[in-house]
Amino acid sequence: MNMNLNTNEILTTTEYDMFRKISNRKITENPKLEEELLSEGQRQPILVNEKMEVIDGQHRLYYLRKHRKPVRYIIDPTANFKTVISMNTSAVNWALQDYVYSFALEGDPEFVKLAKFLDENELLSDKMVIVAGSGRRDGTATHVVKKLKKGDYVFSNEKQLREFCKFYERVLNETKLPNKPFLQSVLWTLYTTSVFDENRMLTQLKKSDLTSEDIEGFAKKKLLLTFLELYNGRWSDDHPSLIQYFINRKGSLTIPSLPKQDEDN
């Protein structure tokens, strides 16, 4: 291929094997995109670099190949993921993992570690891993995600996150609760208190026989309060594993217990 002639021109091909993936980025099903490509055609070309590595458009390529449709693409030798992040029309459709993999490919060691964890993880949501991995006790911390999208992230809490995964897997295996992001978030908040007892939580959950129907639709505060009351049970206020909490005049629920410390810190 003559790169001087073809650079930055819109080209068309059905030779799907000429394109290369440059990471283990997961292809998540997107029926809306698939239907759009079938009904309206490919409106936005795929962006590749001079090695034919797909920088932007992996999902479009996946569906075009699936339905044996021609692929429109542009070769830009200087293209990388930072290029795509700056293109608002494209970046707004990115999943969190796309940002992680993009900065990992740029060589950022924190993102390399995080990308490896996401590739191995089949239990927790990507957002849960990102927030918990940063050391936040609140599993819904939005500012962590905002900073990550700008390339600012430290994967500082991997050890505790792996330990939580083992506990959470036990919860799913030993109770009737579903694997849902809201459950992950609430259990993480409790798990990271210094007095939290895994076996106590499991015992109380099994006694309660809670199911997804019992907690579906709960606001996070109500769900957290439900699990706190369940965990504490009839323990006295001076019990060493009791999780203290209070609700202020504005209705906010606060857990003043110190966070659980990593033994290596």
Q: What is the pLDDT of residue 68?
A: 96
Please name every residue paired with 227 in a beta bridge, in sequence order, or none if there are none.
none
pLDDT at 135 over 60: yes
pLDDT at 265 over 70: no
Contact assessment for residue 49 and residue 1, using Cβ atoms and an 8 Å cutoff: no
Q: Among the CATH numbers 3.30.70, 3.90.1530, 3.30.1460, 1.20.120, which is that of 1-94?
A: 3.90.1530
Please name every residue paired with 54 in a beta bridge, in sequence order, or none if there are none.
48
Q: Residue range 85-113: average pLDDT?
A: 77
pLDDT for 154-173, tens place per residue?
A: 999 999 999 999 999 999 99
CA atoms 3, 5, 11, 13: torsion sign: negative
pLDDT at 98 over 90: no
pLDDT for 242-264, tens place per residue?
A: 999 998 888 888 888 666 655 44
For the chain, give every residue range classified as CATH 3.90.1530: 1-94
pLDDT for 206-220, tens place per residue?
A: 999 888 888 877 888
Query: Considering the chain, what percentage of its residues have pLDDT values greater than 70?
Result: 86
